[in-house]
Structure 1
């Protein structure tokens, strides 16, 4: 079993300077709060530009947090060798993660130099072979090959195998299936499901709602850097309450049905800059209201929200 980490985001905000002289600012992530427990997959869903990848980069320590707290097992994220031994990321374009002039398995050599310099050659070869088999690849078919000789799915799984050679506890998977064909996507998702069963925590960042529901116990829906709905995946997609979530679901094409553009997103009290009305259906948590157990939405009066023009 892997030793998992509890990820906690509490009012996390990321602001960038903007303008010709840096006098303005742009808020990419606005007071986002959610948790991911060990052995749990959380899907972070939203359209391009909603702040999903920025959240992933903050978790990985690749960009700083402007305000709020981001912790793993109660400890603030401090990038460094010990941190990256336990927390890793796999990204959208696997080809960009490899140097084309080196064989693909050079990524394993880099791990050895940084984290396991004392391991003997034979033992390291056994570890690499086991990690490659754990991601459902045949070592004889992928080791020793150059990146251009392997498919995107194979390269993506090699990156996951690389992470397994560390004491991995948490994985940020940022759009890792978007460049893969349909059958390979399911292979990679099933691989993540197997890692989850071993205790690994996963933040699965995607704009594909179908894949998000396939894997995750919890779902967080982002719009313009803010959480508009979150909770149990079956509740969020089985009973979508926020207009934006409904619009996302309406935009998914269905086989053998004509596709019509969804209705425009209609805003709620929070987006209009007003305080939420009193007497809502549940308790407020970070501008979210609990409408049922483990189902939060960013508006207290949903019918009024839907009647308010965007």
Structure 2
């Protein structure tokens, strides 16, 4: 596998003198291969973005390991040539006093100093057209002159200029309107077809279902269910997954409170923690009598 998380845990020190700690991610394991989209789904505070930041080398792990192509993740120039992240608020990725295309100049200065200017301009133009942007309409503009969707696609175009193999997409559509959101998702699907691996972090189940082959469901920093997306969505086994799906608004249906769910299938079979394989590639955690997260 290209990316592998093995029993990853993250603790943060809190308090005035760091005398206490809080566990944000607990014993998380999953993998991601080339040309695969994996959705990481959970409510706010479930640890999704913390996992993304550890994969990007922005936060160190407290326990377990993260490997990329068999080697431990180490933030640096060579790692970021292959692994890039895009975040929820595209405006925060741009300095408002510089024109938006400065992000391409930074890539050239870091990785492609010897590439002639005309050749570089051609590469930038090709990359922008790959993400369905007209170079003449976006280059030379300040961030406030562009929409959120245009800025997100600029960031994807920047990543494509590198030898990128993995994209960590953290809530990248949550600030976009519905039509632009679909454009960005279709773009990610096109990139997947070219062999790019994508970790798609979201709290929106419908978008995860639209894009991903596999889904990982997080609750309070722990994996409670993972497997092929059609199985997780079509036959959810963990009560938390079923509650998330029940909370998705549906047209022509009145809003209703989620129906309380009894102890999970795993507990009924005598599970005492961890994950049990309930079907081919479909794993679920125990949710009964305090033995689960």
Under TM normalisation by the shorter chain, which class is it?
A: over 0.9
Shift of 1:143: 1.0
CA contact (8 A) 1:31 1:226 kept: yes
2:275 pairs with 266, 285, 288, which one?
288
The 1:264–1:48 alpha-carbon spacing in structure 2 relative to 1, beyond 3 Å, is farther
Question: 1:116 and 1:84 mapped to 2: Cα distance?
Answer: 14
1:64-75 matched pairs, under 5 angstroms? 64-75=60-71
CA contact (8 A) 1:217 1:232 kept: yes
Q: Which runs of 5+ in 1 are unaligned?
A: 271-275
Shift of 1:205: 0.1
Question: 1:203 and 1:179 mapped to 2: Cα distance?
Answer: 18
CA contact (8 A) 1:13 1:31 kept: yes
Shift of 1:22: 1.6
1:131 pairs with 118, 121, 127, which one?
127
CA contact (8 A) 1:41 1:202 kept: yes
Q: Which residue of 2 aligns with 1:34?
A: 30
Query: Could you say what secondary structure the match of 2:11 adopts?
Result: strand
Cα displacement string for residues 214-270 of structure 1 (whole angstroms, at most 9, x for unaligned residues):
000000000000000000000000000000000000111111211123246777699
TM-score, normalization by structure 1 = 0.89
Question: 1:293 and 1:49 mapped to 2: Cα distance?
Answer: 29
1:84-95 matched pairs, under 5 angstroms? 84-95=80-91
CA contact (8 A) 2:237 2:265 kept: no
The 1:266–1:81 alpha-carbon spacing in structure 2 relative to 1, beyond 3 Å, is farther
1:1-310 matched pairs, under 5 angstroms? 6-263=2-259, 287-299=274-286, 305=288
CA contact (8 A) 1:53 1:205 kept: yes
CA contact (8 A) 1:100 1:146 kept: yes
The 1:77–1:266 alpha-carbon spacing in structure 2 relative to 1, beyond 3 Å, is farther
Q: Which runs of 5+ in 2 are unaligned?
A: none
Query: Could you say what secondary structure the match of 1:38 adopts?
Result: coil
Question: 1:233 and 1:104 mapped to 2: Cα distance?
Answer: 36
Aligned length: 292
Query: Could you say what secondary structure the match of 1:195 adopts?
Result: helix
Root-mean-square deviation (CA), in Å?
2.2
Of residues 245-254 and 20-29 in structure 1, the stretch that sits farther from structure 2 once superposed is 20-29
Query: Could you say what secondary structure the match of 2:256 adopts?
Result: coil
Q: Which residue of 2 aligns with 1:273?
A: none
Shift of 1:203: 0.3
TM-score, normalization by structure 2 = 0.95
Question: 2:208 and 2:265 mapped to 1: Cα distance?
Answer: 27
Question: 1:164 and 1:195 mapped to 2: Cα distance?
Answer: 9
